[in-house]
Structure 1
């Protein structure tokens, strides 16, 4: 007995039901789907019916809220930066572009440097946010912090400024001008 002689047990494998193959088969014309209606159409999927019981999506409450102005922030630890330096992936200056490539992030993301781990190399790091512990560790190692104000996508859209400069210039604040109320003459 070898692998080529193995067969499934008799009656274990059934041929699939071939529907819609003519009236002689007994499953022709409507192919076992009955006449007309939604259930006979292609693409029909049975909705979640729980037999009169209140469906789960109606039993559970609505919850949560997604803030419309939420910032996508990619976090980088000091330990990761040290590892990148040791592997030779970055030099003494780490820009937002370097962080984007190394973190596999998008152009819309802000970057925050966190203080988990140790940093022994002297580096200049450009990022949007820094935790206090990260600032202390970078300063202790003899490095510098450069604060970026715009995402890569926002910096690319700034007219009249080079890309690197656009990253580092703060956004202009929108000031709403109050309209003076007109006095009603009586």
Structure 2
């Protein structure tokens, strides 16, 4: 016995049902799909039905939500900043615009400097948030940390100021006015 003499068992392999090949075949005209309606059209799939049983998507609990006013914060390690300086991508000053460009971020993102890695040179870093360990390492290397108050998108919308100035200027606090009662 060799591989060339092997064949499937009798009756285990059937020919494909060829539909829509004339009325004489028994599966012509409507191709076995019945007359008209959604079920006879292409692309129709029966909805998943579990009979009278409660469907799976209704048995499982709902959970979680998406916070509508969430902040997108991108973490940047000191090791990354050191590598960018070595490669010549940034100078001794790293600003929010540099982070946006080098991290492929959007203008509405916030940036946080994290303390993983070491800095060999003094660097002036402008970011929205800085971890304690990162701040210590930057100051130890002779650098400086400046906290930005706004995202790039918010800074561009500020009138009468350049983007760099608007980044650092704190947002104006809303003042609440008391309603004055009418006195006669």
Q: Same fold (TM over 0.5)?
A: yes
How far 1:106 moved relative to its partner? 1.3
Counterpart position of 2:153: 153
Paired positions, count:
176
How far 1:25 moved relative to its partner? 5.2
How far 1:58 moved relative to its partner? 0.9
What aligned pairs does 1:91-106 form with structure 2 within 5 A after superposition? 91-106=91-106
Counterpart position of 1:107: 107
CA distance in 1, matches of 2:41, 2:182: 66
Task: Look up the SS of the partner of 1:159 in the other structure.
Answer: coil
5+ residue gaps, structure 2:
1-6
Counterpart position of 2:4: none
Map Cα deviations across residues 64-101 of structure 1 (whole Å, 9 max, x no partner): 12222111111111111112112222110111111112
* Cα distance change on mapping 1:77 and 1:30 into 2, 3 Å: same
* Greater mean alpha carbon deviation, residues 70-79 or residues 146-155: 146-155
Map Cα deviations across residues 11-53 of structure 1 (whole Å, 9 max, x no partner): xx99876655654554444333322333223443332323433
Task: Look up the SS of the partner of 1:111 in the other structure.
Answer: strand
Map Cα deviations across residues 136-181 of structure 1 (whole Å, 9 max, x no partner): 1111111111111111222222222112112221111223334346
Task: Look up the SS of the partner of 2:125 in the other structure.
Answer: strand
5+ residue gaps, structure 1:
1-8
Map Cα deviations across residues 87-144 of structure 1 (whole Å, 9 max, x no partner): 2221101111111121111111110111112222211111111111111111111111
- Compute the RMSD of aligned alpha carbons: 2.8
* Cα distance change on mapping 1:122 and 1:41 into 2, 3 Å: same
For normalisation by structure 2, the TM-score amounts to 0.79
Counterpart position of 1:123: 123
